[in-house]
Amino acid sequence: MAYDDTNIFARILRGEIPNDTVAENDHALAFRDIAPKAPSHVLVIPKGAYVAFDDFAANASEAEIAGFMRLCAQVCAMEGVSLDRGQGFRAITNAGRDGVQEVPHFHLHILGGAVMGPMIGARD
Ligand code: 5GP
């Protein structure tokens, strides 16, 4: 699937739309979800143009992957949900139609601050 650079997260990365930034490094940006589904709900996105998790995992450079993963760890610590500072979290990434991905720029949801409940809801 080709990357569509008009997607909302591409626009956030270009500074065209404001965001509530939590943390950032050379390769990734973390910001609060506009419609939080948990007391803490942060989205971590690579700065590079990757459609979904599998695209990122296959095609990103080692520096991009490391930068992304380290920012995820930083967010967990900053939000107080990491296992050494808090009570844990759920990390989710949706991909494509069947994954019900809304924004076609790879992102990881980090959700915490409460027990998350069942892993997935009913499919209908
Ligand atoms: P997906 O379904 O693609 O995994 O999740 C997309 C997420 O992006 C949703 O949780 C939605 O609330 C969030 N979102 C959509 N538009 C915006 C926006 O303009 N700003 C922020 N911060 N989050 C957004």
Q: Specify the pTM.
A: 0.97
- CATH 3.40.50.300: does it fit domain 8-112? no
What pLDDT does 96 receive?
97
Does the C-beta of 49 come closer than 6 Å to ligand 1? no
CA 33 to chain centre: 9
Relative to the CA of 104, which ligand 1 atom is closest? 3
Q: State which of 43, 101, 107 you would mutate to test the pocket of ligand 1, scoring each by most atoms of that ligand within 8 A of its C-beta.
A: 43
Does the C-beta of 92 come closer than 6 Å to ligand 1? no
Q: What is the CA radius of gyration of the chain?
A: 14
- Hey, which residues does 23 pair with through a beta bridge? 30
Task: Compute the distance between CA of residue 24 and CA of residue 27 in angstroms, rounded to an integer.
Answer: 8
- Catalytic residue positions, numbered: 107
Q: How far is the CA of 32 from the centre of ligand 1 (A)?
A: 9
Joined tokens for residue 43: 């989205």
List pLDDT tens digits, range 38-53.
999 999 999 999 999 9
pLDDT band at residue 1 using 50, 70 and 90 as cut-offs: confident
- On whether the CB atoms of residues 89 and 112 are closer than 8 A, the answer is yes
Q: Quote the mean pLDDT of the chain.
A: 96
What is the average per-residue pLDDT within 71-98? Answer: 97
What pLDDT does 124 receive?
64
Q: How far is the CA of 85 from the centre of ligand 1 (A)?
A: 26
In this predicted structure, the answer to whether residue 35 has a pLDDT above a threshold of 90 is yes
User: What are the structural domain ranges in the chain?
Assistant: 8-112
Of residues 41 and 124, which shows the higher confidence score?
A: 41
